[in-house]
Structure 1
């Protein structure tokens, strides 16, 4: 059973993320929090850790799968990078367990809100963008 969604709406999820990250005074603490979040990702079944489920555009290995069930999109993902796992956790917190319409109408404001776009390496930024695009694409296909 997935732990997502944690909040009732995408708006509430993004607000909770902003509140949590505001508790940290510098980026070394925020990176540590990202690592801690990544450790909370539910394990991904090894059957999905194949090229078929690999997210391209990431420097790290990222595997992601989705299913559309009872009108909701559910995503499961994993990475071999601890920081990337934290980024996955944030994206799933906002988008997993939501309707395709909610996903498609939600801009990932948390990225800018917590300063991620200024503190990720270009390769991590590209990978994070690929993750968000995958979620949007799959939600669009499920509509």
Structure 2
């Protein structure tokens, strides 16, 4: 159920042979993301459970389960900005109901991230996914 943007990332990862190249690509994805305005870097948007500073600002258009999900994100760590960009590609544009049906661990496993992220980064990534799913579930009701 991955979006075309996520599929493009997955295809690029298949093309990149070693983890160092993939790591650089994740960082580049983060660099390409627009920054989150300082005004939105507040406790309400901060993601707990991340070793780095992470903020996710959801944007939901419409109401009910068919509302469209999008978000902006920011981190003080470049690799985490890249992970936010990957999650953006995975979830952006889906309905809030569809967000809950995405098997994020399986989709992210296609990129081989599990084997190469520290346990702290993996925990942070799970925390970001949980936040996205929670916001989408609340918006679906």
TM-score (norm 2): 0.90
Gaps of 5+ in 2: none
* 1:47 equivalent in alignment to 2:39: yes
Q: Kindly indicate whether the alpha-carbon contact (under 8 Å) linking 2:50 and 2:125 is maintained by their aligned counterparts in 1.
A: yes
After superposition, give the CA deviation of every residue in 1:78-114 in whole Å (9 maximum; x if it has no partner): 0000000000000011102220111111112331111
* 1:127 equivalent in alignment to 2:136: no
Q: CA deviation at 1:69?
A: 1.0
TM-score (norm 1): 0.88
Gaps of 5+ in 1: 1-8
Provide the C-alpha distance between the structure 2 equivalents of 1:132 and 1:62, rounded to a whole number of angstroms.
12
Query: What is the SS of the residue equivalent to 1:63?
Result: strand
Counterpart in 1 of 2:70? 74
Provide the C-alpha distance between the structure 1 equivalents of 2:14 and 2:86, rounded to a whole number of angstroms.
15
After superposition, give the CA deviation of every residue in 1:37-94 in whole Å (9 maximum; x if it has no partner): 0001111111111222211000000011112213211211100000000000000111
Correspondence for 1:95 among 79, 91, 94: 91
Counterpart in 2 of 1:34? 26
Counterpart in 1 of 2:135? 138
Runs of 4+ with >6 A deviation: none
Q: CA deviation at 1:11?
A: 4.3
Q: What's the C-alpha RMSD, in Å, of the aligned pairs?
A: 1.3
